[in-house]
Structure 1
Amino acid sequence: MSDKPVSEMSFEEAMAALEGVVSQLERGEVALEQSIALYERGAALKAHCGAKLAEAEAKVEMIRSAEGKVTGTVPAEGL
């Protein structure tokens, strides 16, 4: 598990770290206290990824609007 603060991670770094957290939790080979710490880090990573995606969607929306194209996004989760 990386010690890098979540707020300093790129989207790709945070996704990779989140996948690592999920993998460790799914294996169930960690002590309860470590599981709780992993879960907390996973929640922070998920929130960070969501914020990064929202930023990207807002940028695309601004570009499309500036080009005079129809605006409006569909959440990636709905695809």
Structure 2
Amino acid sequence: MSYHVEGTCSSPFTGQCPGKLIWPELVGRKGKEAKDVIEKERPSTDVIYVPQDAIITNDYCCNRVRIFVDAKPNGDYANAKVIVVPRVG
């Protein structure tokens, strides 16, 4: 599985995103476990795996959570360890 180039933000930041915004409890867990938790708690959110050395955009989007994992591009993101606190953006 590879990570994908992010598409259009359907919910750009306009001051405050509703709902839960960060998941510090998911650091150290497997990527798939983290993704399942986030999708359950924010069902309309696009949850994206990002390998540790990837270059990302600086835009902030209320309907996106990036899960940074300890894996190389085209690695096994679902089983890789979450290395940064997942957060909306």
What interval of TM-score do these two structures reach, taking the shorter chain for normalisation?
under 0.3
Q: TM-score, normalised by structure 1?
A: 0.27
Q: TM-score, normalised by structure 2?
A: 0.26
Larger proportion of strand: 2
Larger proportion of helix: 1
Q: Which has the larger radius of gyration?
A: 1
